[in-house]
Amino acid sequence: MLSELLWIHATGVCALVLNVVALVRTCEKALRIQSGMAGVIWALNNLLLGAHTAAALSLVSAGRTATSAATLSARENVRRTVFAAFLLLTLAIGTLTWQGWPSALMVLASVLSTVAVFYLRGRALRLAMLLVSALWMYNAWLFGSWEQMAANVLTAAAALYGARRTEGAAAAAATAGCRPSPAAASS
């Protein structure tokens, strides 16, 4: 019992730190990769808590986020196809792991995340993550996970801070490849 509680708290704290650090980054690719790593750890945390829908959707989130990083510069039809696949996977997992209306919030958060990581950048991406954090807060409260509650509050704050740091389309374009463009550097 004590070792399981330690694993729950350790995975929660580790994922929390990865999430917050990812969202304050200005590098779009690094944000997505680090968020993907956090998603794997959140999946384990949710599994240990008995939150099966959240655990499954966290794994989808990890794969989706990492895939979106790999396809940041891909052609639109490639991104659209991968987006559609993750959207269908999210809906299928939500259906298969359904635990009542709280699952609807997790599915909605996952759908919003899917749209955000494939089609948004900069400020808009981080503001969408703010809404995603609000939706995940219910799951955290329902399962009594202080790490997830703290992560949602800190992630929301980090998303706001990150949105401020990446204001404007020029900043979003400059951070997409993780190096400022000459035009962005001179402005």
Residues in the chain: 187
Per-residue model confidence (pLDDT) at position 107: 93
* Residue-number span of the structural domain to which 109 is assigned: 2-186
Residues 28 and 172: their CA atoms lie apart, in Å, by: 8
The answer for residues whose C-beta is within 8 angstroms of residue 145's C-beta and 6 or more apart is: 8, 12, 45, 49
Residues 145 and 151: their CA atoms lie apart, in Å, by: 10
Residue 54 has pLDDT above 70, yes or no: yes
> In which band, very low, low, confident or very high, does the pLDDT at 182 lie, cut at 50, 70 and 90?
very low
Report the 10 Å Cβ neighbour count for 2: 6
Residue 1 has pLDDT above 70, yes or no: no
Residues 79 and 76: their CA atoms lie apart, in Å, by: 5
Per-residue model confidence (pLDDT) at position 10: 93
Per-residue model confidence (pLDDT) at position 181: 38
Compute CA distances 114 → 70, 122, 128, 131, 184, whole Å.
Answer: 14, 15, 10, 13, 28
pTM here is 0.75
Mean pLDDT of 150-164: 83
Lowest average pLDDT, out of 95-109, 114-128, 135-149, 159-173, goes to: 159-173
Q: What is the dihedral of CA 57, 172, 80, 44, to 10 degrees?
A: -10
Residues 32 and 25: their CA atoms lie apart, in Å, by: 10
End-to-end CA distance of the chain: give it in Å, rounded: 56
The total number of structural domains in the chain stands at 1
Residues 89 and 92: their CA atoms lie apart, in Å, by: 5
